Amino acid sequence: MKEQDRPRAVRIAVGLWLATAVFVLFTTVGLWFQRGEVQRLTDWTSGQVTSFLATLTGVALVFVVAYAVLTRLFLKRKNWARITLSFVAIAHMVWILFVGISASNLVTLLLICAAIVFTWQASTAQWLAEVREP
């Protein structure tokens, strides 16, 4: 199916999911370049900062890969991928609240919320239903 045959809501949802993944990836990489600032703000040892950043990176990569794979499956009209994307997004939002709110985390939350809205539009549901067997 050509991209222009997809409803606008589907195209927007896909763009938002992928934008979320890319934004999370770049934000995480950016934190590594700000190691000194993280250490200064937290008063942690270098090892603690490294451990913290490694944990954040690992979790971020899980979300990035999940968004990329599930978005691809969503484009293949797998309804379960839409449901799973939403659950992954909710888990991601909880993780963000656990880690703490920052400007970049607020942007991530906004991207996720917008992506969920477009993922669950009526036109998206109709597009997915067109391939289901009766």
Give per-residue pLDDT as tens, 57-111: 999 999 999 999 999 999 999 999 999 999 999 999 999 999 888 999 999 999 9
Span 102-129, pLDDT tens digits: 999 999 999 999 999 999 999 999 999 9
pLDDT of residue 3: 61
Does residue 133 surpass a pLDDT of 60?
A: no
What does the DSSP assignment read for the chain? --GGGS-HHHHHHHHHHHHHHHHHHHHHHHHHHTHHHHHHHHT--HHHHHHHHHHHHHHHHHHHHHHHHHHHHHHTT-HHHHHHHHHHHHHHHHHHHHH---HHHHHHHHHHHHHHHHHT-HHHHHHHHTTS--
Token pair listed for 59: 């979790």
- Classify residue 91 as exposed, middle or buried by CB count within 10 Å of its CB (0-12, 13-18, 19+): middle
Of 31 and 132, more confident: 31
Q: Which of 122, 113, 130, 119 is nearest to 20 (CA)?
A: 113
Of 132 and 119, more confident: 119
Does residue 1 surpass a pLDDT of 70?
A: no
Q: What are phi and psi of 10, to 5 degrees?
A: -65, -45
pLDDT of residue 8: 95
Instruction: Give the predicted TM-score (pTM) of the model.
Output: 0.90
pLDDT of residue 97: 93
